[in-house]
Chain A
Amino acid sequence: MKRIITATVQNRSGVLNRVTGMMVKRQFNIESISVGPSETEGISKMTFVVEVSDDQKLEQLTKQLNKQIDVLKVTDITDKAIVARELALIKVGSSSQNRAEIQGVITPFRASVIDVSKDSLIIQVTGNPEKIDALIDLLRPYGIKELTRTGVTAFQRGRQPENVQEMNALIF
């Protein structure tokens, strides 16, 4: 099962290596990681998307993360009401003939063209991973020359409604 886990950590040297090294050593399957500064100076926030086989493995993962000395707080937010976003940059082959057509494809995704050259376009898209997957599929026929994704970063929503499972089903 896929889980989204966030960790607030002390921004010390080697902390990313410690955390990812632990996950590799204990055979946790990391799908994506995103790391960046948080609202507090010296504290970073990590967001992991992981694939775990069962609840026991999941419990182990959060416990092993918590055990790290630089880790302040670990939250499995998968079953919470959350916003999850990822950014992708996609370089697509394009000529003057199909530029407008590609524009038409990306508009419903609220993606934007951020660079144009004679034979390519760079498209920026933000959203949940599934939306990005969908856009990539649609752009594939034009020839994807380069692709990079940031991995998911996620937050709990300000309000937590009763039944959030269905909402989150949309994320994956």
Chain B
Amino acid sequence: MKVEAKPKELAVEKKTTTGADVFIRSLVDADVDTVFGYPGGAVLPIYDALYRANAPFQHILCRHEQGLIHAAEGYARVTGKPGVVIATSGPGATNLITGITDAMMDSLPVVIFTGQVGTGVIGTDAFQEADIIGITTPITKYNYQVTDLKQLPRIVKEAFHIASTGRPGPVVVDIPKNISQEITVDEFDTAFHLPGYQPTVKPNPLQIRKLADALSRSERPLLLAGAGVLFADAAKELKVFAEKYQLPVTTTLLGLGSFPGTNELSLGMAGMHGTYTANMAIYECDLLINIGARFDDRLTGAIKHFAPNAKVAHIDIDPAEIGKNIKTKIPVVGDAKEALKQLLDVNAKITNHDEWLQSLNSKKEDYPLWYDRSEELISPQWLIEQVYEVSNGEAIVTTDVGQHQMWAAQFYKFDSPDKWVTSGGLGTMGFGFPAAIGAQLGRPDELVVSIVGDGGFQMTLQELSVIKERNLPVKVIIINNEALGMVRQWQEKFYEERYSESLLTENPDFIKLAESYGVKGVRVDKEENVPRVLEDVFSYDGPVVVDCRVVKRECVFPMVAPGAGNHEMIGVTK
């Protein structure tokens, strides 16, 4: 898919070079292989340059800018490379806001180029003008408005650097139309200097030694792995470390896959819908080693009950996360991989904590994840288990937010990293399907399964055009309970069953809908048909939408009720 090309091979004649040509060349210089974009007035010069340049990257035209940004996020999540987006000024740019915020919350490297009205009319409320710099300042790692063409190549280079290093995040580059139209003959200096941006990668050895020392004294140690492990490509080191010291491991929602879910040291996910064992391990441990997680409130529950007996160590590349929510005894600023390598080099005393492991193992046995298996109708949890079985646990899974997301997190045992693409921090409906498009483009040879709800799917389903157009073999599994399931669940449990606006009684016929886009559609509503349907769907060479009718009243358990501590889970057993 990726074509090797040097900038000079681009069909751009020097004497007619425009700012847009310079921009396209900058993307090539940044090794971009896929761009998610949508044309419009302010980016017409860029799209013209793209047309003329025969650029060595593919351009994916999603059908809504929200689709672009989520696809770019999915691409970034599974490849580790920055996702690239181009949108026009005004509404094009503002349609990206949800996705930019999502990328900021989940630390995804995305570089977004927005068109802007000409510099001469900025500030006059010109047609399709929006102050995208002002709007995106709080939701980006950094943003730029290009006011001088000479700076454009340097800015593009900086944008990719900032987005993909340190704690990754979204960077917006706003390009006024006159800049991309400007004729230029200049050679550009792309050297950059960011004196205020020097992420600490190598941790302080003294802190590592302190951590190793604490580990050698601990009787009930616990590892908490977050997405930082994945961004640092440190899953291998984490496994070696955990096994060497026999440390039980729990993960955050976004950290799933950083440690093999089927490993005997794995306790599963912690937090609001985490496993009982993982949450009790946090409650009971005497040393909690957080690697690359940010102690989000959905993980911690009530802070006063969070790890009350533990000395907390926190390894994070972003120093501002350390001590933000949880008091931390041993702060370690640095990259997870570097920290784990150093920890392995230190050779701390290996202590025996068999008793601790045994108590956790018996909790695992006594209080496993459970659900009521319906006799005939499809239980959503059982369905996810089937998806897991039929895909051999090897699929890339994307989701929205809500019940289907939690069931996927609970019942799809991710054994390898970078296969789990979900909207964690922001909890964005409509994320999963376009994210699957980006994931499939980033890893074309893998099975990509988008598990979505019937509510969320309807927020971005127009991207069916893209999977048809590109023949992307994405498998969309709609967990259809004719409801906004998690809203319905909270209304059932905390609002005395007043189902205010959460029941979707007028859903479209998803089969006909898929077919109208030229995409294969399948419905399954009986348990007995599920394995065969899934086998057919996963082996089909092309996109499929599967409308799975599931038991409508199912709730996600176990659960930490809002305001409660992690040790006060409800629905731990039947």
Instruction: Give me the interface of A with B, judged by CB distance under 8 Å.
Output: 9-10, 13-14, 17-18, 21-22, 25, 56, 59-60, 63-64, 66-72
A144 to B142, CA, bound (A): 43
Closest 4 CB pairs of A and B: A63-B320, A69-B197, A72-B196, A69-B142
Other than A14-B145, A22-B138, A69-B162, give 12 A-B pairs with Cβ distance below 8 A: A9-B196, A10-B195, A13-B147, A14-B143, A17-B134, A56-B327, A64-B320, A66-B320, A67-B318, A67-B320, A70-B196, A72-B195
Q: A21-B138, A22-B138, A60-B323 are in contact. Are A69 and B133 (CB under 8 A)?
A: no
B39 within 8 A of A: no
Query: What are the residues of chain A within 8 A of B319 when measuring CB–CB?
Result: 63, 66-67
Q: Smallest distance from the beta carbon of A118 to chain B beta carbons, Å?
A: 40
CB-based A-B contact count at 8 angstroms: 44
Sample of 6 A–B contacts (CB below 8 Å): A10-B195, A60-B320, A60-B323, A60-B324, A63-B323, A72-B196
Q: Are A25 and B323 in contact (CB under 8 A)?
A: no
Q: Which residue among B134, B141, B194, B324 has the maximum number of chain A CB atoms within 10 Å of its CB?
A: B324
A10 surroundings in chain B (CB, below 8 A) = 195-196
CB atoms of A56 and B137 under 8 A apart: no
Q: B65 to chain A: closest CB distance in Å? A: 23
Of A18, A60, A72, which one neighbours B137 at CB under 8 angstroms? A18
Inter-chain CA distance A22–B323, complex, in Å, is: 18
Contact A14 B195 (CB under 8 A): no
Residues of chain A lying within 8 A (CB to CB) of residue B320: 60, 63-64, 66-67
A66 and B166 CA atoms in complex are apart in Å by 14
Q: CA of A64 to CA of B133 in the docked complex: distance in angstroms?
A: 20
Minimum CB–CB distance from B563 to chain A (whole Å) comes to: 20
Q: Given known contacts A10-B195, A69-B194, is B138 in contact with A59 (CB within 8 Å)? A: no
Contacts of B142 in A (CB 8 A): 69
CA–CA, A14 to B140, complex, Å? 13
B residues 288-331 touching A (CB-CB < 8 Å): 318-320, 322-324, 327
Q: Hey, which chain B residues are within 8 Å of A68, CB to CB?
A: 196
* Residue pair A17, B137 in contact (C-beta under 8 Å): yes
Q: Looking across the interface, which residue of chain A has its beta carbon closest to that of B195?
A: A72
- Determine the chain B residues whose CB is within 8 A of the CB of A21 once the complex forms: 137-138
What are the residues of chain A within 8 A of B195 when measuring CB–CB? 10, 72
CB–CB A69/B323 < 8 A: no
Q: When the two chains form their complex, are residues A59 and B323 in contact, meaning their CB atoms are under 8 A apart?
A: yes
Task: Return chain A residues, CB-CB under 8 Å to B134.
Answer: 17
User: Complex formed: what's the CA distance from A17 to B142 in Å?
Assistant: 12
Residues in B with CB closer than 8 Å to A70 are 196
The count of chain B contact residues (Cβ–Cβ below 8 Å) is: 21
Set of chain A residues within 8 Å of B141, measured between Cβ atoms? 69
Q: For the complex, what is the distance from the CA of A6 to the CA of B401, rounded to whole Å?
A: 41
Contact check: which of B137, B162, B318 meets A14 at CB < 8 Å? B137
B562 to chain A, nearest CB (A): 21
Interface centre among B134, B196, B197 (most CB of A within 10 A): B196
Q: Which residues of A contact B327 (CB under 8 A)?
A: 56
Q: Which chain A residue shows the least CB distance to B323?
A: A59
Q: Which B residues are in CB contact (< 8 Å) with A17? A: 134, 137
A80 smallest CB distance to B (angstroms): 22
> Contact at A71–B137, with CB atoms within 8 Å?
no
**Taking the nearest CB of chain A, how far is it from the CB of B285, in angstroms?**
22
Partner of B133, one of A14, A63, A66, A67: A14
User: C-beta contact mask, B116-141 vs A, less than 8 Å → 1, else 0?
Assistant: 00000000000000000110011001
Q: Is there an interface contact between B162 and A13, defined as CB atoms closer than 8 Å? A: no
B567 to chain A, nearest CB (A): 24
Bound together, the chains give a CA A9 to CA B197 distance in angstroms of: 11
| Residues of the B chain whose Cβ atoms lie less than 8 Å from the Cβ of A71 | 196
Chain A proximity of B334: nearest CB distance (Å): 15
Question: Which among B162, B319, B322 has the highest number of chain A CB atoms within 10 Å?
Answer: B319
Q: Which residues of B contact A63 (CB under 8 A)?
A: 319-320, 322-324
Question: Given the complex of chains A and B, what is the CA–CA distance between A68 and B138 in angstroms?
Answer: 11
Q: Which of B418-470 contact A (CB under 8 A)?
A: none
CB distance from B457 to the nearest CB of A (A): 32
Give chain B interface residues in 121-179, CB to chain A under 8 Å. 133-134, 137-138, 141-143, 145, 147, 162
| Residues of chain B with a CB closer than 8 A to A66's CB | 319-320
Chain B residues near A56 (CB, 8 Å)?
Answer: 323, 327
**Alpha-carbon gap, A128 to B114, bound state (A):** 46
Closest chain B CB from A20 CB (angstroms)? 10
Q: Which residues of B contact A67 (CB under 8 A)?
A: 318-320
Bound-complex Cα distance A14 to B144 (A): 9
**In the docked arrangement, what's the CA distance between A56 and B328, Å?**
11
Task: Compute how far the CA of A60 lies from the CA of B322 in the bound complex, rounded to whole angstroms.
Answer: 9
Q: How far is the CA of A21 from the CA of B137 in the complex (A)?
A: 8
A66 to B143, CA, bound (A): 17
State in angstroms the CA–CA spacing of A66 and B197 once bound together. 9
Q: Report Cα–Cα, A22/B322, bound state, in Å.
A: 17
Q: How far is B143's CA from A162's CA once the two chains are assembled, in angstroms?
A: 43
Q: Kindly provide the distance from the CB of B327 to the nearest chain A CB, expressed in whole angstroms.
A: 8
- Which A residues lie within 8 Å of B318 (CB)? 67
A13 to B131, CA, bound (A): 14
A56 to B195, CA, bound (A): 27
Q: Looking across the interface, which residue of chain B has its beta carbon closest to that of A59? A: B323
Q: How far is the CA of A69 from the CA of B322 in the complex (A)?
A: 18
**How many Å lie between the Cα of A25 and that of B320 in the bound state?**
15
- Return A130 CB to nearest CB of chain B, in Å: 32
By a CB distance below 8 angstroms, the chain A residues around B196 are: 9-10, 68-72
Question: Given the known A-B contacts A9-B196, A66-B319, A69-B197, are A25 and B145 also in contact in the complex, defined by CB atoms under 8 Å?
Answer: no
Q: Among A22, A66, A69, A71, which residue has the most Cβ atoms of chain B within 10 A? A: A69
Cα-based distance from A66 to B199 in the complex (angstroms): 11
Separation in Å of the B209 CB from the closest CB of chain A?
Answer: 23
Instruction: Report the Cα distance A14→B194, complex, angstroms.
Output: 16
> Given the complex, which residues of A lie within 8 Å of B137, measured CB to CB?
14, 17-18, 21
User: Within 8 Å CB of B138, what residues of A?
Assistant: 21-22, 25
**Chain A neighbourhood of B322, CB < 8 A:** 63
CA distance A110 to B327 in the complex (A): 48
What CA separation (Å) do A66 and B194 show in the bound complex?
13
Report Cα–Cα, A74/B16, bound state, in Å.
46
- B392 CB → nearest A CB, Å: 42
Q: Interface digits, B22-43 against A, CB 8 Å rule (1 contact, 0 not)?
A: 0000000000000000000000
Per-residue 0/1 for B202-238: is the Cβ within 8 Å of any A Cβ (1 yes, 0 no)? 0000000000000000000000000000000000000
With a cutoff of 8 Å between Cβ atoms, the chain B residues found around residue A22 in the complex are 138
Bound-complex Cα distance A72 to B196 (A)? 4
Q: How many Å lie between the Cα of A71 and that of B195 in the bound state?
A: 9
Q: How far is the CB of B106 from chain A (nearest CB, A)?
A: 17
> What residues of chain A lie closer than 8 Å to B197, measured between beta carbons?
69
